[in-house]
Chains A and B, each alone.
Chain A
Amino acid sequence: MSRKIFSVFGLLIVASMVLAACGGGTPAAGTERIVETVIVEVPVAGDAAPLPPPAGYGATLAAVQARGVLICGVNSQVPGFGYIDADGNFSGIDVDYCRALAAAIFGDSTKVEFRPVTAAERFTALQSGEIDVLSRNTTWSTVRDTELGGNFTATTFYDGQGMMVRAGEGITTLADLAGGTICVQTGTTTELNLADVMAAAGIAYTPAVFEDADSTFAAYAEERCDAVTTDKSGLVSRRTVLEDPSAHVILDVTMSKEPLGPMVRHGDDQWFDIAQWTVFALISAEEFGVTSANVDAAKANPSNPEVARLLGNEGDLGLKLGLSNDWAYNIIAQVGNYEEVYNRSLGPDTPTYIPRGLNSLYTEGGLLYAPPFR
């Protein structure tokens, strides 16, 4: 008898939990909606402006500012570029770009929310407005710049596709891989380049295609494949974390050009400018020797007029971008210049060391070249 009562009340508990939790869902959803309405109103305000700029102009910045936090799509699996450490913090050069952008907008580099996105979903995430900017070692290409609904802003890292093999197996050229198996990640330009290059060279091979970088390299580490291919930077950083890095060599072939950089949505030129000039501010700061350590001194006593304009002492470049005038100062003070960002994630002191190479300033034989600040 008592057992029956217990069971009936057990049923009641279940039912009440169900009902209670139904009500429970609402507060969270309600607060969510408040944020949403703010976002909706923005384009309306833009339309009402006397001389209407193109639809969507300024909408992203307004939405970000209303939200109070920048949402940045990043990688969570590539050491040196975008990666979660054991404490649960994001780090890497792509991640630091997001911090720089947050510093430019809010004057606070911590006001950024990182969204790990997979290679497959990144463009949709950008298109649908789930993320404000995509900074996830993404290669600049025609289709992505047009059909996939985004615009690349600038190159933050010049890369090229490479091939890593195990040392001591007599593989020195791509032709030695004939009949072999090559690990590659899906949804990437890498996958297409591999097919292109091997077809052009007439080399037969078997691809082993994986959903994410971890699986790809795990399979390579287990000798599922003879070789693994991705951007050379990725190979370098991944090689450092293999069991015995010296047992792997990166072939001296460059299979493609891979300019990596942040990408924004089509249709908001102001946001594009902000994202682009954040990169340029980082590069220029290195060119002018302004670092996070000496930025206060440089602002107090600018070495030349362009530094003064960069740091907001002269002119109103920041206001023209729709930001505060000390936007670049905030970037440098809180995140550093390009060199600092680079060295923090890819410098000689890190396990993922990659020599600067093409990613040096143009004055040092590299490709980094920022337009003038004026």
Chain B
Amino acid sequence: MAQSSSQAASIPIWRDERYLKLIAQIVFAVVVVLTANYLYQNMVNGLRQQGTTLGFTFLGGIAGFDISETLNDFSRTSAYWQAFLAGLYNTLLVSIVGIVLSTILGIILGVARLSINPLVRWLSAAYLEIMRNLSLLVFLIFWYLGVFLKLPRVREAVEWPGQVYLTNRGIVMPWGLPTETMPMYRTILIIGLCLALALGLVLFLRGRQTGKPPLTLLWSTLALILVAVIGWFVVPAAPLSLDLPVIQGLNITGGKTFTPEFMALVSGLVLYTAAFIGEVVRSGIQAVSRGQVEAARAIGLNPFQTLRLVVFPQALQVIIPPLTSQYLNLTKNSSLAIAVGYPDLFYVSNTIMNQSGRAVEMISLVMLTYLTFSLITSVFMNWYNARILLVER
């Protein structure tokens, strides 16, 4: 360092690398800013010519349209921002359900890829090859129009055991309606959860002390279930009343209806993403060297213990980063809901865009929202990943 600074005096400015770099950066920044400004000015001018300006005040205006399924209270007299929220909730719902289900299916597929049963292995491989080379959009459209809308009509509804009806109006199943004892039962459940957590902690600490890893998760879950079951009978009346679906003329009333749009979107995303997650899981498991497994068997662990205590923790390290990006992909891909008519964030924003004519604002808002999802997820996953690595050391 000392050398270079003493040299700097003798080098003319236009040949000093540091100055050149500085100038290059300034030039680059100026070019970027000027270009952005030029584009922005063009846009503002164009909008002014059409008599509009940029701004988000329109979000307070009355939407005027209906949304087929919402998680919040939305009607045609609600504001645009409430419509946007309805879309946001739907996107979150699809993403969360999709992530949980695709993880389960993905793990099954990944493990099946490594099964000793050649038939299972082959089936899993065939599934992965088929799915990975399909275009998700085409698959979703096919899945919706070709499968879910081709389900029997209400009159000829197929009944599955447990009064689950399959129709092209949706999948209808019995659903619990909360009764007046529900608040009490909820309190019991919370207590049960606390108990389960405490038990888990105790078992975990015991395991640390004795060196024998107990089945923490299993025992905690059992405790929770036990409390839940006892609580159900302790409260004066059942906290949930069963709402059975009944075919009434044109429609099915009662129960819980999952619309074909929702089902097609979620199942399509799950089937597609699970193929990729399966690959992630397989490569994660294979990344654990054979010696680890052999060593685990040699010290007398059974296959299940080997998987749980040796293979899985190590595989998780390899799996987490690509798994994160698959989760994000699923969330972003849920924007294809527009092709099957499910009112997710993007679709609702598109409707707002059409009805209000505010393309620039709505597209910016949508992109910002997805960006927030992705940033939150990557921050969380980075933290989790770091934690796992820490435990390993």
Contacts and interface: CB of A to CB of B under 8 A. Distances in A.
A151 B269 CA distance: 42
A172 interface: no
Nearest to B145: A218
A69 interface: no
Contact of B250 (A146, A209, A226): A226
B50 A127 contact: yes
Contacts of A207: 66-68
A186 interface: yes
Interface stretch (A187-195, A272-280, A340-348): A187-195
B250 A169 contact: yes
Given A180-B251, A219-B149, A147 B52 contact: yes
Q: 5 closest Cβ contacts across the A-B interface?
A: A187-B354, A149-B50, A195-B76, A222-B149, A210-B341
A206 B68 contact: yes
Given A127-B50, A180-B250, A218-B149, A196 B260 contact: no
B145 A195 contact: no
Contact of A208 (B150, B341, B347, B351): B341
B154 interface: yes
B70 to A, nearest CB: 11
Contacts of A224: 149, 168-169, 260
Interface in B67-114: 67-68, 75-77
B168 A209 contact: no
Contacts of A223: 153-154, 168-169
B350 A196 contact: no
A194 B357 contact: no
A120 interface: yes
29 contacts: A120-B354, A123-B357, A124-B359, A127-B46, A127-B50, A128-B46, A147-B357, A149-B357, A186-B351, A187-B354, A192-B64, A192-B355, A195-B64, A195-B66, A199-B75, A209-B347, A210-B341, A211-B338, A211-B341, A215-B145, A219-B149, A219-B341, A222-B150, A223-B154, A223-B168, A224-B169, A226-B251, A266-B49, A266-B50
A302 interface: no
Interface of B: 46, 49-52, 64-68, 75-77, 145, 149-150, 153-154, 168-169, 250-251, 253, 259-261, 338-339, 341, 343, 347, 350-351, 353-355, 357, 359
A38 interface: no
Contacts of A146: 51
A210 B350 CA distance: 12
Interface in A164-215: 169, 179-181, 186-188, 191-192, 194-196, 199, 206-211, 215
Nearest to A149: B50
Given A149-B51, A196-B64, 4 more contacts: A179-B253, A196-B76, A209-B68, A266-B51
A14 interface: no
Contacts, number: 95
Contacts of A196: 64, 76
A186 to B, nearest CB: 5
A296 to B, nearest CB: 43
Given A187-B351, A226-B250, A143 B357 contact: yes
A321 interface: no
B150 to A, nearest CB: 7
Contacts of B357: 123, 143, 147-149
B62 to A, nearest CB: 10
A267 interface: yes
A323 interface: no
Most chain A CB within a 10 A radius of its CB, from B75, B76, B168:
B76
B350 A209 contact: no
A211 B65 CA distance: 14
Nearest to B151: A222
B168 A222 contact: yes
Contacts of B168: 222-224
Nearest to A187: B354
A62 interface: no
A218 B64 CA distance: 25
Interface in A67-118: none
Most chain A CB within a 10 A radius of its CB, from B64, B150, B250:
B250
Given A192-B65, A219-B149, A222-B168, A211 B354 contact: no
A119 interface: yes
A272 to B, nearest CB: 15
Contacts of B338: 211
Most chain B CB within a 10 A radius of its CB, from A143, A146, A208, A224:
A224
Given A146-B51, A147-B52, A206-B68, A199 B76 contact: yes
A212 to B, nearest CB: 10
A120 B353 contact: yes
A210 B51 CA distance: 30
Nearest to A176: B250
Contacts of B66: 191, 194-195, 207
Nearest to B257: A206
B97 to A, nearest CB: 20
A208 B264 CA distance: 14
A124 to B, nearest CB: 6
A215 B51 CA distance: 34
A211 B339 contact: yes
A51 B355 CA distance: 39
A219 B49 CA distance: 40
A147 B346 CA distance: 23
Contacts of B64: 192, 195-196
A224 B169 CA distance: 5
Nearest to B77: A199
Contacts of B65: 191-192, 195
Contact of B261 (A147, A186, A195, A208): A208
B52 A181 contact: no
Contact of A209 (B46, B150, B251, B351): B351
Nearest to B341: A210
Contacts of A191: 65-66, 351, 355
Nearest to B360: A124
A224 B148 CA distance: 10
Nearest to B350: A120
Contacts of A181: 169, 251
B350 A186 contact: yes
Nearest to A266: B50
A190 to B, nearest CB: 10
Most chain B CB within a 10 A radius of its CB, from A124, A149, A209, A226:
A209
Nearest to B58: A147
A49 to B, nearest CB: 19
